[in-house]
Structure 1
Amino acid sequence: MTETETETSLTNTPPASLMRNRSFMLVWMSGLAIMLGFSMFFLSVSWFIVDVLNRPAVLGAVLMSVSIPRVIMMIYGGILADKIRKSLIMFVTNFLQGLVMVTMIILFFNDWLHVGSLIVIALVFGFLDAFFFPAVSSMIPIIVRDEQLQRANSLFQGSTEMMFIIGPLVAGVLLTIGDFTLTFSAAAILIFSSTVLVFPAFIQDPKPEKREGSPSALEDLKEGLTYVRQSHVHRTGTIAIVIINLFMIGPLIISFPILVDSLGGSPFELSLLEAGLSAGTFLASVLLVIWNLKRKRGRLVFGSLLLSFAFFIVFSQVTALPPLVLLAGLTGFMAMFVYLPTVTLVQERTDKNKLGRVMSIITLAASGFEPLAFGLISFLVAAELPIQTILMIAGSTGLLFSGALVYFSSSFRRLD
């Protein structure tokens, strides 16, 4: 079945619950499994670097190793998603990530897991992520109706964020009763489970139609970038996501283990802090599923952008764990009211044959600028600048750029 035939079929059939959409349910369950595995993996690696290797300044280098290949290959991942069956891309990348996890378990078991091997593993994970995320984000608008898109995005994002609440808690418990072999093995099993769920024969997503002239990857890239640049919705939405990830999400992620270690905390307390952020994003997603917002979304995005940085600046000046957890949750809550409505606004206004490239640019904006935050903050931490001061500078800068974006983007503010 071609993409055009699939769209016609969706148009001519009566509305059905997302829970009865077999393809969406499989993609959703696959997302739950892999995000749970990833959250356990990343907390375990972060704590291994900070506590076992006693190298907190190296944490930024490892996180950068995940993000840099993602930045380099993300656009090509989007180009590929417009040419190859999206479920096939997801299946292959998940399977390879499962093999990477098995390799890491072997390295740890033989006491070969050190900074060098962790960086190589992170590079491979980042490379594979560059293909997975454009595929899954451009898959959802293909397999669900337009009127269900806001709910589908919110349900997928919210429930996967819930895995980032459960995952760190589970990893913290497993590290308390066992060692890193236990957490790495559990993560590997979850990733392989995700691989099975997105087997192409199960998903049955349409194969993209061949385009006339067989354009090169460079021509596809130019077309995608021009498409985004010429639309004020795509352009402004992308900039908003860049700002919130470069000046808030990136600094938050790298600051958690450093803050907990400076406060004399444990892996379980680190998991609480990460779970606080995930709880905020999850609750926001649930609210958007229930609300299914259709009006004044532009104003909501901008108001949430400004408020999220206000909470982040307060977070930067707190040194006690309970209020840090609360403020991390509030920051994540408002950040999700920036990200999800923006993604849906972009998807609704994107041609289906360009979804892969457009969503790769959005995903790049969401995660591709984090290496800059990771690298700069690691450098400042190594220079013995207090982490609270670093976070204050990042939050204030982000608030300044957010104010400028709101002021110069009046057309985006008026969007429904």
Structure 2
Amino acid sequence: MADSWTSLLKNKTFVLVWLSGMTVMLGFSIFFLSVSWFVVDEMQQPAILGVVMMTIAIPRVAMMIYGGVLADKIQKSRIMFTTNALQVVVMVVLVVLVQQDALQTTSLIILAFVFGFLDAFFFPAASAMIPSIIPVHQLQQANSWYQGSTELMFIIGPVGAGLLLTFGGFAFAFSAAAVLIALSTILIYPPFLKDPVPEARSGRPTAWMDLKEGLAYVRRSGIHRSGTMVIITINLLMIGPLLISIPMLISALGGAPWQLSLLEGGFSTGTFLLSVLLVTWSLKQRRGRWVLGALGVSFFLLLVFSQVEALPVLVIVITLMGGAGMLVYLPTITMIQEKTDNNKLGRVMSLVNFASSGFEPIAFALISFLVAASISIQTVLMYTSVTGMVLTGLLLWLSPEFRQTD
């Protein structure tokens, strides 16, 4: 394993992509928290915070699949470099408006929309980059290290943003985020990475033809089909409901803001620790069974989470849920990447990212609707966990190819 990790560090392209991923995620984390606090504290309009977040999320989800089509046609580093550079421009405009006290609701929503739109092209290219530059036998270690590092940035980011806002103000925090995104842009400069350029395809296929080809490719493969369903299931019925339920649960239990931070930090810590474990633990046998087993454990832990009220127990359970969720996600992503042809990586990974990102907002809406109908959040989580366990059983029964994959 040490030799495997040493060879990863000797892969200059991977190291640059890894460092770029960490800096951009740290910049994003600082940006998101700073925007949230700007809306609530500076603009005094907490009611529009959801609108701003949706303005970032909707174009990102809507355009993500087309971003994958593009990633199969254009050098991936070129896409990542261009989108990051344009996001730096957005951040500079944001800083200027804040300094001149001219950032209003309309301008913030427009900037948020552009930022989310650019993300739709960055992430499919980034997801398809690693399997195009890493040998198959090292994919689990590379994915785990990359994912663990980015999860760590989302733990560090809010703390850093709080310090920047406390000692420097909003312009300083947004400037720091812009510098980090600019550093990421430099690290993925295409002549530095020298990643493969997709081969020119015969004919002139349209984006719609490329997308249909990618969808057909996923439907034909039991591993791709079942893996995508696994990711949809855990995001729709575990991660999405959990993320939106934390503040509701703390409020229902009469808790304080610091307790909210403990729960959110516990989940991130679990995902980070499991990612680090998978760097050193080569999960090569019965991966499909490990994934489906971890999926069932995730929903069992969610059931426990919905029934207890003691904060120490909730923190322990949510930390375990973060680890179980990552044990579902990372091996599934690796198996899908291993079974995907290089000329379809962009489209397949964009569909996987859509399954990951596109169903969380649906979960947010469903949970909000049920709670608004006077159903307690504990009851909603209980039924969600039971539904997840039933679907896990169906996946075990109906996905023999995925279940038996090593």
Map of 2:136 onto structure 1: 146
Instruction: Kindly indicate whether residue 183 of structure 2 is the aligned counterpart of residue 169 of structure 1.
Output: no
Amino acid at match of 1:142: S
Could you tell me which of 321, 328, 334 is aligned with 1:331?
321
Map of 2:121 onto structure 1: 131
Could you tell me which of 147, 158, 163 is aligned with 1:157?
147
Could you tell me which of 160, 166, 181 is aligned with 1:191?
181
**For the structure 1 residues 242 and 51, does the alpha-carbon distance in structure 2 shift closer, same or farther, using more than 3 Å as the test?**
farther
* 8 A Cα contact 1:31 1:156, kept in partner: yes
Shift of 1:151: 0.8
CA deviation string 1:26-45 (max 9, x = no partner): 00000000111122222333
* 8 A Cα contact 1:70 1:368, kept in partner: no
Shift of 1:110: 4.8
Where do 5+ consecutive residues of structure 2 fail to align?
A: none
**For the structure 1 residues 391 and 101, does the alpha-carbon distance in structure 2 shift closer, same or farther, using more than 3 Å as the test?**
farther
Amino acid at match of 2:400: S
**For the structure 1 residues 382 and 96, does the alpha-carbon distance in structure 2 shift closer, same or farther, using more than 3 Å as the test?**
farther
* 8 A Cα contact 2:5 2:141, kept in partner: no
Which is worse superposed, 160-169 or 376-385? 376-385
* 8 A Cα contact 1:60 1:254, kept in partner: no
Instruction: Kindly indicate whether residue 9 of structure 2 is the aligned counterpart of residue 19 of structure 1.
Output: yes
| Aligned counterparts of 1:49 and 1:170: Cα–Cα separation in 2 | 18
| Aligned counterparts of 2:203 and 2:349: Cα–Cα separation in 1 | 23
Name the TM-score, length of structure 1 as normaliser.
0.87
Shift of 1:376: 3.1
Superposition pairs for residues 205-354 of structure 1, below 5 Å? 205-257=195-247, 263=254, 265-266=256-257, 270-319=260-309, 321-354=311-344
CA deviation string 1:119-139 (max 9, x = no partner): 433322221111111111111
Map of 2:77 onto structure 1: 87
**For the structure 1 residues 119 and 272, does the alpha-carbon distance in structure 2 shift closer, same or farther, using more than 3 Å as the test?**
farther
Map of 2:32 onto structure 1: 42
CA deviation string 1:207-226 (max 9, x = no partner): 11101112111111111000
CA deviation string 1:317-356 (max 9, x = no partner): 4555544433332111101111111111111111111111
**For the structure 1 residues 316 and 375, does the alpha-carbon distance in structure 2 shift closer, same or farther, using more than 3 Å as the test?**
same
Amino acid at match of 1:294: K
Map of 2:345 onto structure 1: 355
Amino acid at match of 1:308: S
| Aligned counterparts of 1:252 and 1:123: Cα–Cα separation in 2 | 26
* 8 A Cα contact 1:43 1:271, kept in partner: no
Amino acid at match of 1:17: S
Could you tell me which of 107, 113, 122 is aligned with 2:112?
122
| Aligned counterparts of 1:98 and 1:210: Cα–Cα separation in 2 | 31
**For the structure 1 residues 97 and 383, does the alpha-carbon distance in structure 2 shift closer, same or farther, using more than 3 Å as the test?**
farther
| Aligned counterparts of 1:67 and 1:224: Cα–Cα separation in 2 | 23
CA deviation string 1:83-142 (max 9, x = no partner): 001001001111122222233334444555565544433322221111111111111111
Amino acid at match of 1:102: V
Which is worse superposed, 250-259 or 207-216? 250-259
* 8 A Cα contact 1:60 1:378, kept in partner: no
Map of 2:18 onto structure 1: 28
Map of 1:405 onto structure 2: 395
Amino acid at match of 1:236: S
Q: Pairwise CA RMSD of aligned residues?
A: 2.7
**For the structure 1 residues 107 and 80, does the alpha-carbon distance in structure 2 shift closer, same or farther, using more than 3 Å as the test?**
same
SS in 1 for 2:199: coil
Map of 1:366 onto structure 2: 356
Name the TM-score, length of structure 2 as normaliser.
0.89
**For the structure 1 residues 368 and 353, does the alpha-carbon distance in structure 2 shift closer, same or farther, using more than 3 Å as the test?**
same
| Aligned counterparts of 1:273 and 1:169: Cα–Cα separation in 2 | 15
* 8 A Cα contact 2:144 2:330, kept in partner: yes
* 8 A Cα contact 2:94 2:111, kept in partner: yes
**For the structure 1 residues 37 and 317, does the alpha-carbon distance in structure 2 shift closer, same or farther, using more than 3 Å as the test?**
farther
CA deviation string 1:395-415 (max 9, x = no partner): 333333223222322232111
Map of 1:5 onto structure 2: none
SS in 1 for 2:203: coil
Could you tell me which of 55, 72, 96 is aligned with 2:62?
72
| Aligned counterparts of 1:84 and 1:258: Cα–Cα separation in 2 | 44
* 8 A Cα contact 1:74 1:134, kept in partner: yes
| Aligned counterparts of 2:396 and 2:7: Cα–Cα separation in 1 | 36
